[in-house]
Amino acid sequence: MKFELKTYNRNITNEDLLNDLKKVAKELGKETIIIEEYNKKGKYSIQTFAVHFGSWNNALKNAGLTVNHPMRIEIEDLFKNIEEVWLTLGKQPGRRDMIPPISKYSEVPYKTRFGTWSKALEQFVEYINSEDIETEATIISKSEISPRHKTKRDINWRLRFLVMRRDNFKCNACGKSPTNNPGTELHIDHIIAWDKGGETVFENLQTLCSVCNIGKSNLDFRADTELLT
């Protein structure tokens, strides 16, 4: 395999950036391109475009390309993406972690929206902690009243994050986490199964890896089978 060093000029002009942007679009045969596509074929960093033009969409406009995605990503979508990256890594993500396929968005929309990556993380933590944990469970509406449950089975992403943070982003059964065992997939499990009357509340939820979660489900199934025989 041949390794090549890419050289970058610190005195990049707007024209240099726009020409490269148009070049990549032409190579792809598209009237517009997304950040992920440019990252694969482009010469410059996305951060450089943000510094020169303020946003990716502004760069597309200046290059005469089509803007075909929203100008502003919703804050909750940005925060949900941070949560997903955080859970995948098992630790607080840095700005360099915000790349595909781990992250849906680069650090650019966060810097555009919040000023800096650090401020984006601060706002994320404040958002996560902004409501009492008890209110995080999805309460069943009047039209969905159940004689057995006050909450829905589904676990929203904010409650999921709170539970995993409490459990230090590791499996409560075997101790595995994405940080010490890359590839570990963490799930949220009802301690008292929802089918057996357990509610979707903070105290009745725990973090398990996918292997232990499947194992627990198998044990519960065997127990139920034994009761029936």
- Range 141-228 has CATH code 2.30.40: no
Counting Cα atoms < 13 Å in the Cβ hemisphere of 78 gives 22
The residue ranges of DSSP E strands in the chain, in sequence order, are 186-190, 205-209
Distance CA 94, CA 92 (A): 7
Counting Cα atoms < 13 Å in the Cβ hemisphere of 27 gives 11
Q: In which band, very low, low, confident or very high, does the pLDDT at 228 lie, cut at 50, 70 and 90? A: very low
Q: What is the pLDDT of residues 56-114, one digit of tens each?
A: 888 898 999 987 655 567 888 899 999 999 999 999 999 999 988 889 888 888 988 88
Indicate if the alpha-carbon torsion angle 48, 51, 55, 58 is positive or negative: negative
Q: Is the pTM of this model over 0.85?
A: no
Q: What is the pLDDT of residues 165-207, one digit of tens each?
A: 999 999 999 999 999 898 899 999 999 998 898 999 999 999 9
Q: Which two tokens stand for residue 112?
A: 């555009």
pLDDT of residue 106: 86
